[in-house]
Amino acid sequence: MSLDLKDFRGKITPLSWCWLEAEHRATGQDQSEIVRELLHEWAEKKHRSAIEAQRLMEAEGISGKSGEAEGRRQRAEAMIDRAEKELD
């Protein structure tokens, strides 16, 4: 079963094009196939990095949810304000 591919078009630098064209000429592989393989490998590495980052954050007690940090900061500030009022 083949993957359902998504269409992507983008511009690349002249240096990238030279290496892509050289790989195409050396292997006969279509440029889009070369780029697809490179992007797929990159995405797999990023996916593994994200999993490891999540594990590290959990070990450190960090959830990774951006709103939670802001909520904790606001609660801490409110506690400080209450404590200061009690001291006055």
pLDDT digits (tens, 9 = 90+) for 39-59: 999 999 999 999 999 999 989
Does a structural domain hold residue 32? yes
Cβ atoms of residues 23 and 29 within 8 Å: yes
Percent of the chain as helix, strand, coil, to the nearest 5:
75, 0, 25
Domain of residue 34 covers 14-87
Does a structural domain hold residue 20? yes
How many separate domains does the chain show?
A: 1
Does a structural domain hold residue 4? no
Q: What is the pTM of this model?
A: 0.60
Does a structural domain hold residue 3? no
Does a structural domain hold residue 1? no
Does a structural domain hold residue 56? yes
Does a structural domain hold residue 76? yes
Does a structural domain hold residue 7? no
Cβ atoms of residues 30 and 24 within 8 Å: yes
Predicted confidence band of residue 16 (pLDDT cuts 50, 70, 90): very high
Residue entry with tokens 């078009």: 9
